[in-house]
Amino acid sequence: MLDEFRALGGVADNVRLGYGPFGRGIFSIDATRPVSIRIPEDLLLPVEHGLIKNDAFTVSPDSPLSARGRAFLEGYEREYSWGPGRLEVEGFLSAMRELPEQVRELLARKLGCARFFNPITPQAVEKWFFGTRAINFRDRRVIMPIVEMANHGGSVDYDTSSGVALEGVFEGEVLVKYGRSIDPYYMFLNWMFPSQEPMAFSIKMNMTVGGREIWIDRDFEGESPPWVPKVSVHENRISLAYLLLGHRQFPRIPRGAFRRGMSNAGLESVDEAFEAIEHVNRERFLDLLDSLETLDLPAIQPLRTLARNQLRALSCYYGLRQV
């Protein structure tokens, strides 16, 4: 497979497929040498040109890929990506649906995880699978072979200046940052695994403080990094696009960012509101841990890890730094 990939202009130096703490992934052959993976632009397939027919991946006739490139990508998806990967997605979603009703209710109503409990249809599996394996490239979502097998972690980003590339020196597993790794909760909602992240943002919620309604969303569009929240006021309601609650490197930022965002909202008890929001967030994930206490099912360990990782990130705040 790699020989054909290289013949089509791809680069895959010092890499092998293997298994580690995160499951199947890419590993360096020699940890003292750089790893280099580069997917040429003419092997990046727009997601709308990837078709599933009778559980098999095919490339649309409208695709600009060459016949040889099409054959390579279809073979790759069959053997290494969609073929085994769809079974992993189906297995995870099935495990989530096996949770007791009270746990599913808590996850859906209090933690915004209702999408995990939708019917497991072929269309749903396809959407989950390619939603976690596509990347934005020149204003399009594209499927990227080979490099999509790298697991999330570390500090290396994808290079999309010419095709999609991943380069660096890695001691063992080759890891890459998946887009904006907002917080552990965000990664679980979007990629179905509970990673450790340096920040934590509030869940979607609303509450009343000092006679004012405060509504918090998780809308990070156009924000990098998102610290000071966008705030709008309509009558008695104060709406925040998001709210940073913990930051491992900058623990004094969360309260300062909240104060700055709320400076023109007319809320008198700003610090009390911040503490109350922190409390609700901690309680939701502690409630999740409590609900899992005596259970032994496949989905329990990832959910426990999610709760612990989010709580650790939430705890990373103290003091005040003016923003």
Dihedral pair phi/psi, residue 86, rounded to 5°: -65, -30
- Rounded CA-CA distance 158/91 in Å is 28
3-state secondary structure of 260: helix
3-state secondary structure of 212: strand
Q: Do 48 and 137 have their domain in common?
A: yes
- Rounded CA-CA distance 17/185 in Å is 28
Dihedral pair phi/psi, residue 50, rounded to 5°: -95, 120
- Residues 145 and 167: beta-carbon distance below 8 Å: no
Q: How many domains does the chain have?
A: 2
pLDDT for the residue numbered 237:
96
Q: What is the mean pLDDT of the chain?
A: 94
- From the number of C-beta atoms within 10 Å of its C-beta (0-12, 13-18, 19+), residue 219 rates as middle
**Domain at 23, CATH number:** 2.170.270
Q: Do 151 and 219 have their domain in common?
A: no
23: left (phi > 0), else alpha (psi -120 to 50), else beta? left
Is residue 9 included in any domain, yes or no?
yes
Is residue 106 included in any domain, yes or no?
no
Residues 6+ away with beta carbon under 8 Å from 11: 36, 37, 38, 165
pLDDT for the residue numbered 225:
58
pLDDT for the residue numbered 179:
75
Is residue 110 included in any domain, yes or no?
no
Range of the domain at 65: 2-81+133-179
Q: Do 224 and 310 have their domain in common?
A: yes
pLDDT for the residue numbered 9:
96
pTM beyond 0.95: no
Q: Do 264 and 140 have their domain in common?
A: no
Is residue 161 included in any domain, yes or no?
yes
The count of other CB atoms within 10 Å of the CB of residue 235 is: 7
- Rounded CA-CA distance 196/178 in Å is 13
Nearest to 64 by CA among 135, 7, 160, 140: 140
229-263 pLDDT tens trace? 999 999 999 999 999 999 999 999 999 999 999 99
Q: Do 33 and 166 have their domain in common?
A: yes
Q: Which two tokens stand for residue 259?
A: 């104060």
67-88 pLDDT tens trace? 999 999 999 999 999 999 999 9
- Residues 238 and 231: beta-carbon distance below 8 Å: yes
Q: For residue 7, give the H/E element and its range.
A: helix 2-7
pLDDT for the residue numbered 181:
73
Residues 6+ away with beta carbon under 8 Å from 222: none
- From the number of C-beta atoms within 10 Å of its C-beta (0-12, 13-18, 19+), residue 185 rates as buried
Q: Do 289 and 242 have their domain in common?
A: yes
Average pLDDT by stretches of 10, the chain with 323 residues: 95 95 93 97 95 94 94 96 95 97 98 96 95 91 95 93 96 90 92 93 95 94 76 95 96 96 92 96 98 96 98 96 86
Q: Do 212 and 148 have their domain in common?
A: no
- Rounded CA-CA distance 109/107 in Å is 6
Q: Do 205 and 282 have their domain in common?
A: yes
Q: Do 144 and 271 have their domain in common?
A: no
Is residue 144 included in any domain, yes or no?
yes
- From the number of C-beta atoms within 10 Å of its C-beta (0-12, 13-18, 19+), residue 44 rates as buried
pLDDT for the residue numbered 23:
87
